Amino acid sequence: ALYNQTSEEVIIIAHRGASAYYPENTMPAFKAAVEMGAEMIELDVMMSKDGVPIVFHDSTLYSHTNGEGLVKDYTLEELKKLDAGSWFSDEFAGTRIPTLDEVLGFAAGKIAVNIEIKSEAVSDKVEGGVVEKSLELVSKHNMKEHVLFSSFDYLALEQLHRLKADVMVAMLFDDRQLARKLPHKLIKPLHATAFNCHFRELSRRWLKDLQEYNIPHFIYTVNNARKMKRLINSGVTGIFTNRPDVLVEVAQ
Ligand code: G3P
Ligand code: MG
């Protein structure tokens, strides 16, 4: 279902775009990911004060913009005035925080998108909440077959199920206490069809289970070529990297 994907090959996912070389979660980072040959971009979704899904990782503005305070306290218009590039390098001064609408518009027809819903953006509201609004944008851009939704917040996964989303949904694993359980058991109550975890969490036992049950699994965030090679050899579905150019090279 992904653009440009040949079935046996590892799916190359540009984590927050080509974020080793460009300011993360910005248009330059996403454009570079396409140019480098990635098959999917990963992005994080937060909400502005006026309820617009925007592409940003942190709950606060300090480290990746010239603003301060919480993202959710600013309207889209206010967020759009911030500089989301200078923290990375002067070369990117004036780069703006993109909306999810803008990034999907760019990606449609070019590259698949992993929409990671950040916990801070999730409310109890099903209608008009971040999950429903993101889904609407995916439909607007005809991207249903080319997106992977994921979240560490399982309420978001539950909402996707309630909304009959009809998209691929991954559980993002980060609860050590659940590590004894097998992925096929973990995803079931969440109605997820895929499983994403950190490379250090992926045990042999888990890998075997994921492959036995044919569960697509996407492993983050791997920037080292040798580690990439090892994961490719063990047959993982996809790898998140800040250096998609390196993964393209290693995957050949
Ligand atoms: O979705 C994979 C990865 O992005 C999860 O962690 O903090 O980089 O969003 P984080
Ligand atoms: Mg993320």
Centre of ligand 1 to C-alpha 27, Å, is: 18
Find out whether the beta carbon of 56 lies less than 6 Å from any atom of ligand 1.
Answer: no
Task: Enumerate residues with CB within 5 Å of ligand 2 (an ion).
Answer: 44, 116
- pLDDT in the model for residue 2: 57
Find out whether the beta carbon of 24 lies less than 6 Å from any atom of ligand 1.
Answer: no
Q: What's the mean pLDDT in 62-90?
A: 98
Position 178 confidence tier, pLDDT thresholds 50, 70, 90: confident
- Sort 183 into a burial class: Cβ within 10 Å, 0-12 / 13-18 / 19+: buried
Whether the per-residue pLDDT at 5 is higher than 80: the answer is no
Position 7 confidence tier, pLDDT thresholds 50, 70, 90: low
Name the token pair of 128: 């008009």
Give me the chain's average pLDDT, please: 96
From atom 1 of ligand 1, which residue's Cα is the shortest distance away?
Answer: 116
Whether the per-residue pLDDT at 3 is higher than 80: the answer is no
Find out whether the beta carbon of 195 lies less than 6 Å from any atom of ligand 1.
Answer: no
Centre of ligand 1 to C-alpha 217, Å, is: 14
Largest CA distance in the chain: 49
CB 46 within 8 A of CB 21: no
What is this model's ipTM? 0.99
Nearest atom of ligand 1 to the alpha carbon of 44: 9
Ligand nearest to the CA of 221: 1
pLDDT digits (tens, 9 = 90+) for 193-218: 999 999 999 999 999 999 999 999 99
Residue 4 half-sphere exposure, CB side, CA atoms within 13 Å?
19
- pLDDT in the model for residue 6: 52
Q: What's the mean pLDDT in 13-26?
A: 98
**In the chain, domain spans:** 11-57+99-251
Which residues is 198 bridged to in the sheet?
Answer: 220
Find out whether the beta carbon of 116 lies less than 6 Å from any atom of ligand 1.
Answer: yes
> DSSP label at 22?
S
Q: What's the mean pLDDT in 45-70?
A: 98
Domain 11-57+99-251 = CATH 3.40.50.10860: no
Find out whether the beta carbon of 44 lies less than 6 Å from any atom of ligand 1.
Answer: yes
Centre of ligand 2 to C-alpha 58, Å, is: 10
Centre of ligand 2 to C-alpha 240, Å, is: 9
